[in-house]
C-alpha cells in the first residue's frame, strides 16, 4: 500500500482518540516495511501507542534502523520492551540488546525466556564484522531418516517462529550439518522417500569467524536465499539470509563512500541527527592531514619561484595541469578500490596492471596534451606549448600510477584501500604535479634550477 499524508493524518487522529478498531483497520492492508516508514513519521508518543496496537510489532520494528530502534526502546515500558525483544528474530533482537545501556540489558535479560537468553548469549559472543555477528539462529532442521510425510509435519511444527522455510538444513543429533534440501524438493518428492535420499550433500557454507563481506559475496555468487554458518567441527550455528547480507553490502558501500571523501566512517551514522561535535570529529582529522599535504605544493612553487617570475604565463596554466593530474589519479584510485573490493584483482596483478595503466595514461595524457598545447601557443609561444604538452603527459601519467598504486600499497599494509580517497590522491598528485610542471619548464625555458 502506498503511504500517503492522508493515511498518516488519519492514523494520528485515531491514535489520539484511542480508536483501536480504526487503527487496526488502517494498518491492515499496509505491509511491515511501509508500517515502519509510517512509524518513523510519527511523534514518540504516537510511536509507543502504535507499537502497542500493532499485531506484529516486532516484525515492523525490525525494519527500522538500529538507531531508531534504540530511541524507541529506551522509552518503552520494561514489560513491552521484553515482549518486543522476545518476538524479534534472533539476529535483530541481539543487535538491539547489545546497544541497550548495561543496566537495562541486565533488567531485560533476566525477564526473557530461556530460549531467547540462550540465543542472545550465543550470538553476542561473536566479533563485530564476522558472520557470527549477523547470523540468525531461527533456522529449520530435519533428521535425514524422515520420510516426506513426517518431514512436512515437522515443518508445520517449526514454521511459526523461523526466519525462512525455503531451505531446510539436515543435521544429526549433535547439529552436525549433513546436507540441505529445499521446501520445493520435499513437496514434489514421493511420500515414501526419505530426506537422506533427496538432500544435497554438496554444501556451500560459511564459518562463524568469516568476514561479513565474504559471506555476502558467497550469497551473491551462488544466488542463495540463505547461507548456513558452521563452526570448525561442522556444527550448524546459524544462517545468514540474503536480506541481512544486503544490509552488510549497503553498510560497506556507505563506509567506503565516506572514506573516499576523507570522512571517518561510523556505524549508524546519520547526518540529520548527528551532533555537531560528532560531525566535527569525523571530518577534522583528514582535513588537517590534507592541509599539511597541500604545503608540499607551496614548497614546490617556492623552489621554482625564479622560473615563475621570468615566465608569468606559467601561472595561468598551473591550476589546469595540477587539477588534471588529481582528476586522473582519483579516477584510477576509484576503479582500483572497486576492483579490489570485488576480488577482480589481487596484489600479484600489480606489475601487469602498471603496464596497462601506463598505456592508458599515456593515451589520455596525449589527448589532453594536444588540447592544452594549443592554448599554450595562443597564450605564449611554441616553447610554452611544448612545456605544457610534456607536463600534461607527465602529470597525467604520474597521477594515474599514484591513483592505481595507492590502494595496492594500503592493501599490502593491511589497511582499507578505501582510504586511498579522492582528497588524499588529489593532494599527492597536486604536489607532484607542481614539481613536474615547473621542473620541465625550468629545463626548456632555459632556467637553472636553484
Q: Fold match between 5-125 and 141-249? A: no
Q: Indicate the class that CATH gives domain 141-249.
A: alpha beta
Residues 6+ apart with CB under 8 A from 7: 1, 26, 30, 38
pLDDT 10s digit of each residue in the chain, 450 long? Answer: 455 667 777 877 887 787 878 877 877 767 778 888 878 777 788 888 788 778 778 888 888 888 888 888 998 889 889 999 998 888 889 989 998 999 999 999 999 999 899 989 888 888 888 888 888 888 889 999 999 999 999 888 876 666 677 789 999 989 999 999 998 899 999 999 999 999 999 999 999 999 888 888 888 888 888 899 999 989 999 999 887 877 776 666 656 555 555 455 554 555 566 667 766 776 677 677 767 766 777 787 888 888 888 888 888 888 888 888 888 888 888 888 777 766 778 778 888 888 888 999 999 999 999 999 998 888 888 998 999 999 999 999 999 999 888 888 877 877 767 655 667 788 888 888 889 998 898 888 864 344
Q: Taking the model in full, what pTM does it have?
A: 0.58
Segments making up each domain of the chain, as ranges = 5-125, 141-249, 276-444
**What is the rounded CA–CA span in Å between residue 361 and residue 322?**
15
Angle between helices 102-109 and 90-99 (to 10 degrees): 140
pLDDT for position 288: 75
Domain covering 5-125: architecture: Alpha Horseshoe (1.25)
Beta bridge partner(s), residue 179: 170
Return the CATH superfamily for domain 276-444. SLC41 divalent cation transporters, integral membrane domain (1.10.357.20)
The torsion defined by the Cα of 280, 285, 287 and 292, in degrees rounded to 10, comes to 150
Strand order in the sheet with 226-230: 206-207, 226-230, 236-241
**In contact, 64 and 95? CB cutoff 8 Å:** no
**In contact, 61 and 51? CB cutoff 8 Å:** yes
Amino acid at each position: 500500500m502506498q503511504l500517503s499524508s492522508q493515511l498518516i493524518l488519519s492514523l494520528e487522529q485515531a491514535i489520539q482518540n484511542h480508536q483501536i478498531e480504526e487503527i487496526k483497520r488502517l494498518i491492515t492492508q499496509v505491509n511491515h516495511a511501509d508500517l515502519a516508514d509510517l512509524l518513523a513519521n510519527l511523534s514518540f508518543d504516537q510511536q509507543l501507542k502504535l507499537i502497542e496496537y500493532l499485531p506484529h510489532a516486532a516484525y515492523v520494528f525490525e525494519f527500522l534502523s538500529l538507531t531508531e530502534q534504540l530511541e524507541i526502546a529506551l522509552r518503552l515500558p520494561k514489560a513491552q520492551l521484553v515482549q518486543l525483544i522476545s518476538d524479534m528474530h534472533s539476529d535483530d533482537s541481539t543487535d538491539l540488546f547489545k546497544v541497550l545501556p548495561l543496566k537495562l540489558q541486565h533488567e531485560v535479560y533476566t525477564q526473557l525466556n530461556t530460549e531467547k537468553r540462550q540465543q542472545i548469549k550465543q550470538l553476542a559472543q561473536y566479533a563485530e564484522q564476522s558472520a557470527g555477528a549477523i547470523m540468525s539462529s531461527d533456522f529449520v532442521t530435519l533428521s535425514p531418516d524422515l520420510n516426506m510425510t513426517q518431514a512436512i509435519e515437522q515443518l508445520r511444527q517449526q514454521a511459526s517462529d523461523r526466519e525462512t522455510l525455503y531451505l531446510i538444513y539436515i543435521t544429526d543429533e549433535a547439529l552436525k550439518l549433513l546436507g540441505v534440501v529445499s521446501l520445493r524438493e520435499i513437496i514434489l518428492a514421493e511420500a515414501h522417500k526419505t530426506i537422506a535420499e533427496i538432500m544435497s550433500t554438496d554444501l556451500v557454507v560459511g564459518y562463524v569467524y568469516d568476514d561479513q563481506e565474504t559471506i555476502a559475496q558467497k550469497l551473491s555468487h551462488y544466488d542463495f536465499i540463505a547461507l548456513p554458518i558452521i563452526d570448525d567441527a561442522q556444527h550448524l550455528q546459524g544462517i545468514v539470509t540474503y536480506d541481512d547480507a544486503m544490509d552488510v553490502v549497503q553498510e560497506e558501500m556507505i563506509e567506503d563512500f565516506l572514506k573516499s571523501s576523507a570522512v571517518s566512517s561510523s556505524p549508524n551514522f546519520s547526518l540529520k541527527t548527528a551532533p555537531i561535535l560528532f560531525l566535527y570529529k569525523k571530518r577534522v582529522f583528514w582535513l588537517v592531514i590534507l592541509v599539511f599535504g597541500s604545503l608540499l605544493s607551496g614548497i614546490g612553487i617556492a623552489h621554482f619561484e625564479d622560473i615563475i617570475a621570468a615566465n608569468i604565463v606559467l601561472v595561468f596554466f598551473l591550476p589546469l595541469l595540477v587539477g588534471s593530474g588529481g582528476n586522473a589519479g582519483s579516477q584510477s584510485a576509484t576503479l582500483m578500490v572497486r576492483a579490489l573490493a570485488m576480488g577482480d584483482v589481487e596484489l600479484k596483478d600489480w606489475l601487469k596492471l602498471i603496464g596497462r595503466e601506463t598505456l592508458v595514461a599515456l593515451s589520455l595524457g596525449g589527448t589532453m596534451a594536444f588540447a592544452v598545447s594549443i592554448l599554450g601557443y595562443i597564450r605564449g609561444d611554441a616553447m610554452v606549448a611544448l612545456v605544457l604538452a610534456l607536463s600534461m603527459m607527465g602529470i597525467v601519467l604520474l597521477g594515474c600510477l599514484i591513483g592505481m598504486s595507492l590502494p595496492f600499497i594500503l592493501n599490502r599494509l593491511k589497511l582499507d584501500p578505501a582510504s586511498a580517497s579522492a582528497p588524499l590522491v588529489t593532494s599527492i598528485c597536486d604536489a607532484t604535479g607542481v614539481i613536474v610542471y615547473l621542473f620541465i619548464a625550468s629545463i626548456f625555458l632555459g632556467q637553472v634550477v636553484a
